[in-house]
Amino acid sequence: MSGLWVLILLITISSIPAAAAYIWFRLARYPFTLVRFLFTLLIGAAAVFPALFLQEIFPASFAAAGRWGIFIEIFLRIALTEELSRLLMLFLMFWISSRLEPRFRDSSVSSGAVLHGAAAGMVAGFGFAIIEGAIFGAADTGVLLLRVFTAAPLHGACGSRVGSAAVMFRSNPYLALFRFLAATAIHGVYNFMIIMPGFPSIVAVLIALSALLSSIVSIRNGWKNKGIENTGVITL
């Protein structure tokens, strides 16, 4: 199979969670139109490029600093920069939404807005995974197959937490920071399990899938209890 067809196959596989999320939203009758869904997916995909820029300017000497170098590389240079870039792009998207939709203008963010942020963040995470899958496909890395099937759940789970954090930063900065750091920690632990020898790969798979499942359950329960004040709560 030629390199081009391999790349197309990898992008297709990476797109399956995004397609499944859209079908879920439609079946659940969640107010997430196709245009909004595709725009959110695009925002998530675009977040790859600021992340790459941040990783390039990250001091290489930090990542090579003794026994802590691997932790700095995994948790700061990779996980933190990717989640920060996703946060910035989601801030941009929600700012645009605030200009177009009155419900995002209120300084006291409603639980419904937080729930929407979590759902949008999950979709953005899937968009990030699609572009990342293409980049890994072009690079032909050794962990490619495992990442293809687990990167989308990981980014969807982390994106959900970052999305809710992006909505909450003005109204509840401490909880927002906690959710952002939780996403970074989950991302870092996943990366650590993937690249470190001696750790079974199934652990990384379980981390990604369980984190995504907790986000899905929280979003689903939020929809079912839309009138309850704590609708936007996203579990770790």
- Residue boundaries of the structural domains of the chain: 3-224
pLDDT at 226: 64
pLDDT digits (tens, 9 = 90+) for 148-178: 778 899 999 999 999 999 999 888 999 999 9
Question: In the numeric block, which tokens belong to residue 235?
Answer: 């579990």
Give the span between the Cα atoms of 165 and 179, in whole angstroms. 6
Give the span between the Cα atoms of 61 and 44, in whole angstroms. 29
Give 79's pLDDT tier (boundaries 50, 70, 90).
very high
Question: Treating both helix axes as pointing N-terminal to C-terminal, what angle do 81-100 and 34-46 enclose, rounded to 10 degrees?
Answer: 150
- Residue 31: half-sphere exposure toward Cβ, Cα within 13 Å: 7
Taking the model in full, what pTM does it have?
Answer: 0.87
